[in-house]
Amino acid sequence: MRVPTKMLVCLANSYKHSERCVAGIEISSRKWIRPVSSRPSRGVSATERHYAGGSEPRVLDIVDVPLRGPQPLGFQQENWLLDATRKWRKVGRLGLTALAALESPRESLWLNGASTSRGSNDRVPDAAAQPIRDSLRLVGVDRATVQVMPDPWSPGGHPSVRIQFAYASFAYNLKVTDPVYRAKFQAKGVGSYKLGKSYLTISLSEAYDDGSSYKLVAAIVEAAGLDSRTA
């Protein structure tokens, strides 16, 4: 039985290896949905996510997404198998007031206390992740700092982009996987850059081979520059 198309506000279209991780909140239920493919990577390819005209879904697009049914994986309970035989359809754009209303309850971002060499509270060991039952949050922060640093391990020699912020009495420094903001700040060069009021989509990744999952900033929306994401 084919599941009806679900209308989502796109809150992430981020890098996931050579594909994308797309996620959003369903307009009617206000529940997170992450469309995934049937491939082992679960990433979404360009042909699977593009609109009929070939354009890319953007953060804050309101999109009709054809899905086949829920496909939860561990704590990623938001996963739904996409219907690759049908095209996605853009039906509108979300404004700032409506975005603010979708913010997650203000609490710590899953479990804290484990960090990478460059991060802060950005890692969750696999054993500790077992009780977790969700993997997506939309958080509002009053200020943040984007850090662009040399990355000798980058295949293309591109600098890494991270974002530092405080939320619910905890300090975080997380990797940015938002393609728009990563390119924007890589172009600025190595350094630190201040952001004002912003909304961040935080995604908790699947476990890597090292036995840890990672908190990633899958999208950034600056409140003052909201119109810059409407072009």
∠ Cα 36 40 42 (to 5°):
15
Burial class of residue 222 in the structure, from the number of CB atoms within 10 Å of its CB (0-12 exposed, 13-18 middle, 19+ buried): middle
Over residues 11-16, mean pLDDT: 95
Residue 143: the pLDDT is 97
As beta bridge partners, residue 175 has: 162, 216
Residue 127: the pLDDT is 79
As beta bridge partners, residue 202 has: 137, 217
Matching residue, tokens 């409506």: 98
To the nearest whole percent, how much of the chain has pLDDT over 70?
Answer: 95
Residue 3: the pLDDT is 64
Among 16-20, 80-84, 176-180, the minimum mean pLDDT is found in: 16-20
CB within 8 Å of 222: residues ≥ 6 apart: 195, 196, 197, 198, 228
Segment 105-161, tens digit of pLDDT = 999 999 999 999 999 999 999 978 889 999 999 999 999 999 999 987 776 778 999
Over residues 80-95, mean pLDDT: 95
Segment 170-229, tens digit of pLDDT = 999 999 999 999 999 999 999 999 999 999 999 999 999 999 999 999 999 999 866 544
Segment 42-75, tens digit of pLDDT = 999 999 999 998 999 999 999 999 999 999 999 9
Which of helix, strand or coil describes residue 49? helix
Residue 151: the pLDDT is 84
For the chain, what is the radius of gyration of the CA atoms?
Answer: 17
Residue 231: the pLDDT is 37
- How sure is the predictor about 230, in pLDDT bands with cuts at 50, 70 and 90? very low
Distance CA 155, CA 160 (A): 11
Instruction: Say if CB 136 and CB 25 are below 8 A apart.
Output: no
Residue 113: the pLDDT is 96
Instruction: Say if CB 76 and CB 4 are below 8 A apart.
Output: no
Reported as half-sphere exposure (CB side, CA atoms, 13 A), residue 195 has a value of: 25
Which of helix, strand or coil describes residue 207? coil
Instruction: Say if CB 33 and CB 78 are below 8 A apart.
Output: yes
Instruction: Say if CB 164 and CB 147 are below 8 A apart.
Output: yes
Return the C-alpha torsion angle 68, 72, 78, 81, nearest 10. -20
